[in-house]
Amino acid sequence: MPGPGSNPESWFEKRMGYRFSDPALLRQALTHRSILPEMLEEQESAGEGRTLSQHNERLEFLGDAVLELVVSGLLFHRFPDAPEGVLSQLRSRLVNTRQLSIIGRAWEFGELLSMGRGELLSGGRTKESILGNALEAVLGAVFLDGGYEAAQKVAHTLLQDQLDQVRIDDSRKDFKSRLQERLQADGRPLPIYEVTAADGPAHERHFTVACHVDGQIMGCGEGQSKKRAEQHAAHLTLEALESQTLDTPDEQET
């Protein structure tokens, strides 16, 4: 397994089959913002000017868009008869912080990230948000260095196992089932649904249902039946879990 001091260009070429024309782009993609104050301190101690290297957030912004396009294209061609809604659901199951962090961990991105001592001590190399962002930043760097075809090739390499497991039936699972699977995979207790309101006449009832996870309300759904309100609540809870940063917030000021 490569360590933090390993040569990232050599590692990337061996594992991804891609050589950077501008290796500085890869180094930037693997630079977390937390290390910048330490780099500045070292430069000032050496009598150098304030010439901080850039961190990876701009590349992550670009890579996010590249990844969505690449995955959309792969799904479009793999499932030629699937409607837009199904393709969107399949893409959302592949492109989210949790899935990207799993991929980043499997490909050992955390071992190559440059980050500050404080972030390292708090487990930064294994944080979901940092790993997912690093993967997107790397794709952004590949896109700038070699264009869309290069980024497509690298993305396909990174996501190959996940893509091979995608099935059309995955998009047909109801939200309650998908939420239950998600929580079980995380080792968390099953959700609890609570009807918090039932209004209107008998022929036109309107239900509000709260979805509790770990004793916390994660989503409140509405519908003309209890079942529909529960599905809506489960849907909102899934979205909350995908966007929720379970790690320590990664918002340090540089």
Which domain does 72 fall in, by range? 8-172
Q: Does residue 113 lie within any of the structural domains?
A: yes
- Residues 121, 190, single domain; the answer is no
Active centre residues (catalytic): 64, 136
- Residues 98, 221, single domain; the answer is no
Distance CA 20, CA 101 (A): 23
- Residues 129, 204, single domain; the answer is no
The string of pLDDT tens digits covering residues 48-104 is: 544 445 889 999 999 999 999 999 999 999 888 888 877 887 888 888 888 899 999
The string of pLDDT tens digits covering residues 188-211 is: 999 999 999 999 887 788 999 999
Q: Does residue 55 lie within any of the structural domains?
A: yes
CA 125 to each of CA 15, 26, 110, 120, 231: distance values in angstroms, whole numbers, following the listed order = 19, 17, 4, 7, 35
Please name the helix (run of DSSP H) or strand (run of DSSP E) that holds residue 193, with its range, or none: strand 192-199
Please name the helix (run of DSSP H) or strand (run of DSSP E) that holds residue 118, with its range, or none: helix 117-121
Please tell me whether the overall predicted TM-score, pTM, comes out greater than 0.75 for this model: no
* Domain closes at, from 144, 172, 200: 172
